[in-house]
Amino acid sequence: KAGVTQTPRYLIKTRGQQVTLSCSPISGHRSVSWYQQTPGQGLQFLFEYFSETQRNKGNFPGRFSGRQFSNSRSEMNVSTLELGDSALYLCASSRKFLALEETQYFGPGTRLLVL
């Protein structure tokens, strides 16, 4: 069974630009969650999508948005990039909505550098 995939793996952007990251969950998984990790910080929860609906959102500004398609693939968009958005962005999938007791399976991440 293929794991969670994320594209692209690495990305360099400049301040003010926008970026879209993609996450394909494990087949049969309907929940996709997104996380940000910056140096010295733990993983910060961005949002969770389940059945094409955003179910949950972390404490991030409106520049961070996402969506989920009918095949459960999810995209995350960050507009008007700032230097502080440089981070590793991870997505994770699970069968049911937010993995309260479920196991989440993480992708390899997209490393974003904003110059």
Q: Which positions touch another protein (CB under 8 A)?
A: 3-4, 33, 35, 40-45, 55-56, 58-59, 90, 92, 98-109
Residue 61 is which amino acid?
A: P
Instruction: Identify the DSSP state of 83.
Output: G
In the complex, the smallest distance separating the C-beta of residue 80 from another protein, rounded to whole angstroms, is: 23
Tokens of 104: 């989440």
Question: Smaller CB distance to another protein: residue 72 or 104?
Answer: 104
Question: Smaller CB distance to another protein: residue 58 or 79?
Answer: 58
Question: Smaller CB distance to another protein: residue 20 or 106?
Answer: 106
In the complex, the smallest distance separating the C-beta of residue 42 from another protein, rounded to whole angstroms, is: 4
Q: Is 10 helix (H, G, I), strand (E, B) or coil?
A: strand
Nearest 10 degrees: CA dihedral of 87, 59, 90, 31? -170
In the complex, the smallest distance separating the C-beta of residue 107 from another protein, rounded to whole angstroms, is: 6
In the complex, the smallest distance separating the C-beta of residue 109 from another protein, rounded to whole angstroms, is: 7
Adjacent-strand bridge partners of 113:
12
Residue 100 is which amino acid?
A: L
Question: Smaller CB distance to another protein: residue 4 or 81?
Answer: 4
Adjacent-strand bridge partners of 6:
23
